[in-house]
A and B are shown apart, each in its own frame.
Chain A
Amino acid sequence: MTTDTMDADLHPKTAEDVLAAVQWAAGEQIPMEIIGQGTKRAMGRPMQTAHTLELSGMSGVTLFEPEELVMTAKAGTPLAEIHALLAKHDQELQFEPADLGPLLGNATGQGTLGGMVNTNFAGPRRLKAGSARDHILGIAAVSGRGEVFKSGGRVVKNVTGYDLSKGVTGAWGTLAVLTDITMKVLPRAETEKTVAFEGLSDADASSAMATAMGSDCEVSSAAHMPAHGGEPARTLLRVEGFEASVAYRVEKLAKLLAVHGNADISDVDASRKIWADLRDVAPFIGDTSLPVWRISCTPSHGHVIAAAIANETSISCFYDWQGGLIWMQMEDGEPMADLVRGAVNTNGGGHATLIRATAEQRLATPVFHPQPGPLAALSRRYRENFDPHGVLNPGRISVEG
């Protein structure tokens, strides 16, 4: 084996190939970067690894039974292919995985199933539908130890052993290389409408969204776009389902919130566009030199956190998940992590993740919210029990691993 061949990227075609690669890396204790199409390389903590294990050659849906609401695919399967297949059967991944490509300055419609599971970014419907971790049913994987293991299965009701399918979701490839993934799929709503109110302050919007989400109108998404660039603020509520039901609930919701003014109702196409844009953080696509934070917090505290930060520096932001998700662009170009995380920590807690920033900024600033000592130690032990030598994506989440 020469040094030249050692620099090569690895392109496994099968789970056996992945096993061979990881066994080699574990044996030699040589760190590897694990990617699908590499569309999320601009996120997370930058790494320095000699080798890349690139999984896009492991592609294809291997099981799809629409009437059983289940689908299995190899980890490198393009997400676009999965969305298209499900759409043909009027089904979808109900948690609306975000496409952050354009936000990061890349093309839209890229990415793999494995990348989606490893980052666990849900869209606006999270309030009702959860995220990838709520829809993953089973996995097959190769641990950082170089051993094949599986967890879960293909059925929804399953409490047999620890739920390691959830346990590897959102792990940024630091525990195991996923080879096969089974997801729950669900019927796509027949139609949807968006009920919008104009001109609300962030605080009034917070209260309007709480009323809507707490009503029996079955609102599936609630967002607020503060006034910006001459545009008035818009508070947006999505109602989905069967035609007759949507019509009825939209009317009921407009009446319930009449105190906030006249509702503007968007039809199905406009509504879908509104939520796809919010999902993919369209308002901040453009100037990639400005850092963008993704803040998960107590929904009713969202506007308080944003106000505390806005007091100290110039920001643009909007709220999804009833205020529980803040997308925030730092207009001065600095992440200001202490300010952002301090505001979160003192207002009900949660976590702030630095999604868009230069590589230098993502090295200088912890990308993920620092955890308290005992939890950080537990997370480290957890990781070491999958990948004792730290060969899979070391440093992707934090300096320690």
Chain B
Amino acid sequence: MSGLVMPALDQKVLARRAAIVKSLQAIVPGEGVVADESGMRVFESDGLTAYRALPLIVVLPETVDQVAQVLKYCHGEGIKVVPRGSGTSLSGGALPLEDGVLLVMSRFNRILDIDYDNRCAVVQPGVTNLGITHAVQGEGFYYAPDPSSQIACSIGGNVAENSGGVHCLKYGLTSNNVLGIEMVTIEGELIRLGGKHLEADQYDLLGVITGSEGLLGVVTEVTVRILQSPETARALLIGFPTSEEGGQCVADIISAGIIPGGMEMMDSLAIQAAEDFVHAGYPLDVEALLIVELDGPEAEVDYLIGRVEEIASKNGSTTLRVSNTEEERMSFWAGRKAAFPAVGRISPDYYCMDGTIPRKELPTVLARMRELSDHYNLRVANVFHAGDGNLHPLILYDANVPGELEKTEEFGAEILKLCVEVGGVLTGEHGVGVEKRDLMEHMFTEDDLKQQQRVKCAFDADHLLNPGKVFPQLHRCAELGRMHVHKGKTAFPDLPRF
């Protein structure tokens, strides 16, 4: 690990490991407790493979009651718990703790109820994102958020990370598509928020838990909104001589009142890598390539294709193709969808970043990134969810060159600080995890972070759930609760009044 400091190991817990294994086996019998090193090895990292740690014990519960008992036991014994779905997090959200139980939810893999009248599905958290769509597509429905890991990632993990995807510009993120959850608190209490009705009541705890990276509770059931598949979808593949022109085209499409189903941009290095890999027919003489997908009724899609064509040519597009068949549409997407592995082919390693910026800042950010690239002598390819400003710079490096990973991480941090500087944020969809934890102070003040941690205190006062993630410093809840206002010393405020 390069410089990552995790919470101090609890030696008392480590010393009691054998007894803890026994207690957990009593709760989850059979193969539900994995305590041997080779069995636990597969869980030592998530999608952020630069960081690894062997958990204390792995537990794979099968019932909600088991989850509640495991958490209650760990809470009573002061043992840390790291929840894990499919382990596809790109920010180390499911990185194990050596003195913590890894609670793997993959056995919760059943679809409990599909309700077409109310357009929702009730599923267990281990069901994959794509598994939901597969279950309902026979009736013409789908689940809209589509993170690129959708074939493997679990819906419980999606809730933890508030996952996005290409289609979230028009259809929203996970938080906009989840109607309800059942979760277990660290104290083992079962809480239901929302359900098949359209909004949860009173405080929006559902909104707070979505995207809380496994720090507030363990989700045991999710009710998601399913949507009727659009009548048709067509895409345009548009090339521009500069990223400025591509960026302006995106702004003009949105200003025209058009919200495409997806709108993606790639820079020349990403285009080249993707074309070499999948031969999608991408133009190689452009600096920016835009994929615009329009979905809906045929009459609407045909009309909007014409509008987007006009806007593109007004912005100086040099190539423009419109998909006329489903195969052609898929071929436009093939290069974009393979962009990460394609970049993986032209470099021994790559590091995927995930900042969001106001769209208008794209040319500035790309120019500054080129300077940084020269400074660090590392190439960077850019893939961009252009519609919502979510930028994925891929830094190319070689982990076998001593010091290059550290240099890459420094470069990455500079990019994210740049995103914050221009009015954006550290992470658009990959989460903070351990990866961006120590950058949080560049975006938030101490008071901002303390208020977030106070929310944590309402759910988990002992910091047992996934500690060491998201927050650069752990403050004890008693300390966070202390008031620094001095009674009698603050004057009645001198404000205008009646």
Contacts and interface: CB of A to CB of B under 8 A. Distances in A.
For the complex of A and B, the 8 pairs showing the least CB-CB separation, nearest first, are A166-B207, A245-B300, A187-B257, A157-B428, A8-B497, A385-B454, A381-B458, A20-B493
Interface stretch (B101-109, B183-191, B269-277): B183-191
Interface of A: 1, 5-6, 8-13, 17, 20-21, 23-24, 26-29, 57, 65-70, 90, 120, 122, 126-127, 130-131, 133-134, 143, 145-151, 153-164, 166-167, 169-171, 175, 186-188, 190, 207, 210, 213-218, 241-242, 244-245, 247-249, 252, 296-300, 321, 324-325, 348-351, 353, 368-369, 371-372, 374-375, 378-379, 381-386, 388-389, 397
Contacts of A353: 201
Contact of A17 (B451, B489, B495): B495
Given A155-B389, A248-B300, A162 B255 contact: no
B211 interface: yes
A50 B9 CA distance: 51
B468 interface: no
Interface stretch (B10-18, B20-28, B48-56, B112-120): B112-120
B264 to A, nearest CB: 13
B84 to A, nearest CB: 18
Interface of B: 115-119, 140-141, 161-162, 164, 168-169, 172-173, 175-176, 185, 189-193, 195-199, 201-205, 207-208, 210-212, 228-231, 251-252, 254-255, 257-259, 296-300, 303-304, 356-360, 385, 388-390, 423-432, 436, 440, 443-445, 447-452, 454-459, 470, 480-481, 483, 485-498
A13 B191 contact: no
Contacts of B491: 1, 24
B203 A67 contact: no
A27 B491 CA distance: 9
A29 B487 CA distance: 8
Majority SS of interface residues in chain B?
loop
Given A11-B495, A155-B428, A397-B202, A27 B140 contact: no
A381 B217 CA distance: 15
A145 B496 contact: no
A245 B198 contact: no
Contact of B428 (A158, A169, A300): A158
A11 B389 contact: no
Contact of A162 (B211, B258, B486, B490): B211
A296 B299 contact: no
Contacts of A153: 356, 423-425
B487 A163 contact: no
Contact of B304 (A90, A242, A384): A242
Contact of A20 (B205, B423, B495): B495
A162 B303 contact: no
Nearest to A162: B452
Nearest to A320: B198
A20 B494 CA distance: 8
B481 to A, nearest CB: 7
Given A68-B358, A378-B458, 12 more contacts: A24-B492, A27-B488, A29-B487, A156-B356, A190-B257, A210-B117, A216-B230, A248-B298, A296-B198, A296-B199, A324-B197, A369-B201
15 contacts: A1-B491, A5-B492, A9-B497, A13-B495, A28-B487, A149-B450, A163-B208, A166-B208, A167-B204, A167-B455, A245-B299, A248-B297, A372-B192, A381-B459, A385-B457
